[in-house]
Amino acid sequence: MAQVTLKDITKKYGDVQAVENMDLEIKDGEFVCLVGPSGCGKSTTLEMMAGLTEPSAGTVTIGDRDVTYLPPKDRNIAMVFQNIALFPHMSVYENASFGLSLRKIETEEIDQRVEQALETVEMSGTEDRMPDELSGGQRQRVAIARAIVRDPDVFLMDEPLANLDAKLRVHMRTELQRIHKELGTTIIYVTHDQAEAMTMSDRIAVLNEGKLQQLAPPLECYNQPANEFVASFIGSPSMNMVKGTISHEGIVTEEFSLPASIADGDGLNIDQSVIIGIRPEDLYPASNAEQAGDPTPSVDARVEVLEPMGENIFVYLDVVGEEVNQSGMEGAQGASQLLMSVDPSFEVSEDDHLPIVFDREKIHLFDANSGEAICHQISTKATPDEITTDGE
């Protein structure tokens, strides 16, 4: 068991910066997910922790040891791979005992530890089977057994569930959490699936373009995303983003405005370009405005598409401001599309006109240039009590 620290890690492949000045501190016993879109450098980061890839600059520390240039075998880590990577020519027992027998441990102890590890992953009695006789989920269990049998300081998992079918994946998620609880070992887990990251980890490290965007507990990433990228990446369906500007009355977009009192010192300036972020579940039909913590006046919208999901309905809305209507630009680029999630009991059909309200407590503002978060709710003071659209 050990903490893992990355300090100023950079990895270049030719001219391509795979990972850039990454600082990451993972505590002892923590379950941390590295999450991000493909090509964001998360697997490279993990490989550098494992020692399979050498960083171009920076240091990797596991426990108290600087392991930056140590080969993987000397780091006391274990890894579970996306393609499972059981040795196809070895039985389950031989696979699980591979690392132990390399360390010249006595046969009796190996037997005992393999048995225990297989028990932990609920695969007892399969010692003599070959990997190709096992199902996908069983193979991944054996791979996990191979990892835990050595009692490593850190588990590194590179999308271990990506190749499993959806049902099994959800099941294995809880299994992994159980194993983590049982062993208490530090786990660093790479995934592109934000749902996996949200459900399993103590903290999430969101990566994009080789840079760490945010390292925080899942709900903090969800409720207080550090920037526009984290906001749109975490949460499904993803957050609505609309360009706007700060004015004395509130936030104004091309199609609508959200009245709010803007005071200096909020990090906001008049005429500043911002991006408004609002999650689908924080938009409400005007008729249900009382469900919002702090509803804005309603905004006119038209229902484009409905996606009934069972537990809720996703409503794709076209928000059309008056001015835009008049200049005949309806449906052009300027029209904002918003996604709203409503209760399945709510009656709505396509092409309906549906006024909506925003929950001001859940509105996020991001700087339009840097994408950094400015605030995660807007002030409710001095709300003009009228329906507003952009313009007059």
Minimum CB distance to another protein smaller for 30 or for 47: 47
84 binds another protein (CB under 8 A): yes
CA distance 340 to 356: 9
**Region binding another protein by CB under 8 A among candidate stretches 94-102, 172-180, 192-200, 312-320:** 94-102
Q: Is residue 82 near another protein by the rule CB under 8 A?
A: yes
Taking CB under 8 A as the rule, does residue 102 contact another protein?
yes
Query: Cβ 84 to another protein, closest distance in Å?
Result: 8
Q: How many CA atoms lie within 13 A of 148 on its CB side?
A: 25
Q: Which residues inside 187-216 make contact with another protein, applying CB under 8 A?
A: none
139 binds another protein (CB under 8 A): no
Residue 89 binding another protein, by CB under 8 A:
yes
Query: Given the complex with another protein, which of 151 and 330 has the nearer CB atom?
Result: 151
The pairing of strands 250-252 and 240-246 is antiparallel
Largest CA distance in the chain: 84
Question: Sheet harboring 16-26: ordered strands across?
Answer: 16-26, 4-13, 57-62, 65-66
Nearer to another protein, 86 or 335 (CB): 86
> In the complex with another protein, which residue's Cβ is closer, 101 or 327?
101
Q: How far is the CB of 151 from another protein (least distance, A)?
A: 13
Query: Cβ 67 to another protein, closest distance in Å?
Result: 13
Q: Contact at 8 Å (CB) between 80 and 140?
A: yes
Tokens describing residue 257: 């405005």
Smallest distance, another protein to C-beta of residue 314, A: 37
Task: Return the residue of 39, 56, 81, 111 that touches another protein, per CB under 8 A.
Answer: 81
Stretch that binds another protein, among 34-42, 95-103, 114-122, 325-333 (CB under 8 A): 95-103
The three-class DSSP label of residue 183 is helix
- Residue 81 C-beta: closest distance to another protein, Å: 4
Q: How far is the CB of 158 from another protein (least distance, A)?
A: 9
The string of DSSP codes covering 102-143 is HTT--HHHHHHHHHHHHHHTT-TT-TT--GGGS-HHHHHHHH
Q: How many CB atoms lie within 10 A of CB 358?
A: 27
Q: Does 301 sit near another protein (CB under 8 A)? A: no
Shorter beta-carbon distance to another protein: residue 74 or 133: 74
144 to 163, contacts with another protein by CB under 8 A? 146, 150, 156
The DSSP-derived string for 325-378 is HHTT-TTSTTSEEEEEEE-TTS---TT-B--EEEBGGG-EEEETTT-BEEESS-
Q: Quick one: tokens of 29?
A: 């016993």
- Write the single-letter amino acid at 283: L
Residue with tokens 């020519």: 89
Do 4 and 154 contact (CB within 8 A), yes or no?
Answer: yes
Give me the 165-184 binding string for another protein, x by CB under 8 A, dash otherwise.
Answer: --------------------
Q: Which of 6, 26, 60, 77 binds another protein (CB under 8 A)?
A: 77
- 179, 8 Cβ separation under 8 angstroms: no
The residue length of the chain stands at 392
Q: Where are the beta strands (DSSP E) in 196-235?
A: 203-208, 211-216
Minimum distance from residue 280 beta carbon to another protein (Å): 38
103 touches another protein by CB under 8 A: yes
Q: Tell me how far, at minimum, the Cβ of 94 lies from another protein, in Å.
A: 10
Beta bridge partners of 4: 26, 62
Cβ proximity to another protein: between 116 and 236 the closer is 116
Q: Kindly tell me which of 83 and 236 has the beta carbon lying closer to another protein.
A: 83
Rounded distance, CA 179 to CA 173, Å?
10
CB 14 → another protein: shortest distance, Å? 11
Q: Which of 113/364 has CB closer to another protein?
A: 113
d(CA 82, CA 68): 23
Q: Interface with another protein by CB under 8 A: which residues?
A: 50-52, 71-73, 77-79, 81-89, 98-99, 102-103, 146, 150, 156
